[in-house]
Amino acid sequence: MSDRKIAFLGTGLMGAPMARRLLGSGFAVTVWNRDRSKADALAADGATVAATAAEAAKGAAVLFTMLTNAGAVSEVLFGSGVAEALDPGVVVVDHSSIPPPAARENAAKLAKRGVHHIDAPVSGGVVGAVAGTLAIMAGGEAEIIDRIRDVLAPLGRVTRVGPSGAGQLAKLGNQQIVAVTIGAIAEAMLLVEAGGGSREAFRTAIRGGFAESRILELHGQRMIERNFVPGGTSRNQLKDLDAVLAAAQSLSLHLPLTEAVRAEFAEFVEQGGGESDHSGLLAHLEEKNARGKT
């Protein structure tokens, strides 16, 4: 068992299984969540439950955050006494998906207190969090990332992408690929079925070919089963696509495919699909085509 104390702030859909992975690897983990019941559920796994985020941070060697958005991360780190509770030399690992400028700003603020920061968003969903197979995209100093590789190991595979903010840029790139691929699979299924084919047989037929992907495997199956209970919501997918396009604008890039799929997700969310899984974009495209035939 490591003698390094870990604090984990944000034990929701993703955070809870990640904290369990750390507990299962022998780390002493103190957890906090705004909705305390979600933190209390980890007590049976050996976690210490803190009443406040600042209380969880006291004495931590590594502090993880897995929160909803940039506003939540900033509020927890700097508005609730967490930054003040951290000792110099502590490493903050932010697994939240937030804009790169926000990650760099957080890193700069913590650096003034002698606290290290790594932006380390993840991909792999709840399944990957439970299995410890997440893809962890890290931005920050190489030496600091190397220092905590053993702590990150139970969660998945960590790759340093570049300096502060680069992890968040990699996550945005990941979300681009996910969104565009979901849109492509949904449209292909519409095409095949409109011509008399079977969506399920189509997916089976192309498995193992050049179109193979985890999106085809998992989200393609969701589309066949029409199982749109969220793993990742369409609202969050839209949030990520907005962040992608903001980053692209700052870099003077034009991303037409991303812009097109963002427009479809925006329409889907506006029409009430925000809490549907992002594979539910299929239902939105079906409805659009049905309207076009009337």
Catalytic residue set: 171
Asked if residues 116 and 91 have their Cβ atoms less than 8 Å apart, the reply is yes
- Report the alpha-carbon distance of residue 119 to residue 83 in Å, rounded: 16
Whether the CB-CB separation of 268 and 284 falls below 8 Å is answered with yes
Give SS3 for 51: coil
State which H helix or E strand residue 134 sits in: strand 134-139
Pairs from 241-250 (Cβ < 8 Å, separation ≥ 24): 241/175, 241/176, 241/179, 241/265, 243/97, 243/98, 243/99, 243/172, 244/172, 244/173, 244/175, 244/176, 246/99, 247/99, 247/100, 247/169, 247/172
CA 285 and chain centroid, separation = 25
The number of residues in the chain equals 294
**Interatomic CA distance for residues 241 and 173, integer angstroms:** 9
Residue position matching structure tokens 């990650």: 103
- Residue 160 DSSP code: E
Q: What is the dihedral of CA 117, 118, 119, 121, to 10 degrees?
A: -140
What's the CA gap between 40 and 86, in Å, rounded? 23
b/e map 216-254, b = 16+ CB within 10 Å: beebbebbbeeebebbbbbbbbbbbbebbbebbeeeeee
